[in-house]
Amino acid sequence: MVMEDFIDLNKYPLTDRGFQDRCRQTVDETGVLVLENFLLPDAVALVQKEGEDHKDQAYFCTQEHNVYLTPSDPAYSEDHPRNQKVISSKGCITDDLIPAGSPLRVLYDAEDFRSFLCAVLGEDALYNYADPLSSINLHYANPGQELGWHFDNSSFATTLMIQQPEAGGAFEYVGGLRDADNNEMNFEGVAQVLKGEQPVKSLSMGAGALVLFRGRNAIHRVAPVEGSRTRMLVVLAYNSKPDIALSESARMTFYGRLD
């Protein structure tokens, strides 16, 4: 299997400089790019089946965390926006459980796809994670599960929507809410979001959509899933430097194991 087998390269000419420039402009201006139906229907169905086949091997957990994904700061009260806890609950299968011939692995390793990401995101190169778990993750959100409000630590995220829930599970965000590079955490703005007093945007993405999202300064969440169908989303994780592994503590938190 090659990338051309499951992507319409006439619709999405990944190696075309003009297409790359248009995508980069969208990301630079809005912080997000959605390419609907990036994966062809047969590829989506295959990955859905892979997800169902391996769901019994997923690590499910529920975690409390603050929106900054950092330890609590004793300089602030526990109900201060700096420390206030939200809940994330999900399941995950790791890179080592993704089949060798999966469209996910073919896409992740494809040089043309990485070159496209580099051009759009302004990266010189992108590399696999050095540990065996973190490069490709398939996330499950069963009914009632959610991803709480947070900022990402990384500068960008690359995801593929595989299966939408019957209801709920919306990806909601507020762009430019903080300035991490200048250590401006915007506690007041975060408080408004947590109280539901801040207007939020909702990102529409159907099964097969590729999403590039800059979440370091954009607070975002996945609302609780409703209905009987599990939400499935793939994270394609890259590093801008080689030989980087997710920390052992993070692997235990996210995956329940180290290898």
Q: How many domains does the chain have?
A: 1
Q: What is the mean pLDDT of residues 5-19?
A: 97
pTM of the predicted structure, to 2 decimals: 0.95
Tokens (6 digits) for 26: 């969208």
Which pLDDT band, with edges at 50, 70 and 90, does 120 fall under?
A: very high
- The CA dihedral of 14, 152, 244, 98, to the nearest 10 degrees, is -60
Which pLDDT band, with edges at 50, 70 and 90, does 223 fall under?
A: very high
The number of beta carbons lying within 10 Å of the beta carbon of residue 173 is 19
- State which residues form the domain around 10: 3-255
CA distances from 146 to 1, 4, 31, 69, 100 (A): 34, 34, 22, 16, 29
pLDDT on residue 95: 98
Q: Range with the lowest mean pLDDT among 12-26, 132-146, 241-255? A: 241-255
Percent of the chain with pLDDT over 90: 97
pLDDT on residue 8: 92
The number of beta carbons lying within 10 Å of the beta carbon of residue 17 is 9
Domain CATH for 130 = 2.60.120.620
| Distance from C-alpha of 90 to C-alpha of 204, rounded to nearest angstrom | 20
pLDDT on residue 82: 98
Task: Kindly report the backbone phi and psi dihedral angles of residue 40, in degrees, each rounded to the nearest multiple of 5, phi listed first.
Answer: -70, 155
Length of the chain: 259
Average pLDDT, the chain: 96
pLDDT on residue 1: 83
Q: Is the pLDDT of residue 249 over 90?
A: no
Could you tell me if 148 and 87 are in contact, meaning their C-beta atoms sit under 8 angstroms apart? yes
pLDDT digits (tens, 9 = 90+) for 64-106: 999 999 999 999 999 999 999 999 999 999 999 999 999 999 9
Percent of the chain with pLDDT over 70: 100
Cα dihedral sign for 9, 14, 18, 20?
A: positive
pLDDT digits (tens, 9 = 90+) for 129-188: 999 999 999 999 999 999 999 999 999 999 999 999 999 999 999 999 999 999 999 999
pLDDT on residue 232: 98
- Angle of CA points 121, 156, 176, to nearest 5°: 100
Question: Which amino acid, 81?
Answer: P
